[in-house]
Amino acid sequence: MPSDSLNALTERLRRFADERDWTQFHSPKNLAIGVAAEAGELAAEFQWLDEAASRAPEPERLARIRNEAADVLLYLARLADRLQFDLIEAANAKIELNAQKYPVERFAGSARKYNDPGPR
């Protein structure tokens, strides 16, 4: 298994938590709250930026964005591990579901939600 795979990352994260006896605190509820909290911290890095600045953040902000994005990924990986589901498999299944909900011929170039009938 490549060392940069999600499985390798999950195993490393599991060892990290186990070595510190933190698994007792890693209930699905707590991990889901952690995902939400870290996603909020990630979003805060973009708050008040205009579109151009959000596409090219200065190096210090980009470093913070990278750290917050990594926190979100780590919490998600840990949550999937604790609930024993394959996160990559779940993501692929969700892409398939979204492909059905958002067919190209109806949604290409549109930000509408699947249940918005659009212009009549």
Predicted TM-score (pTM) of the model is 0.89
Share of the chain above pLDDT 70, in %: 95
* Domain residue ranges in the chain: 6-83
CATH topology of domain 6-83: Helix Hairpins (1.10.287)
Q: What is the pLDDT of residue 120?
A: 47
Ordered DSSP codes for 46-112: TTT--HHHHHS--HHHHHHHHHHHHHHHHHHHHHHHHHT--HHHHHHHHHHHHHHHS-HHHHTT---
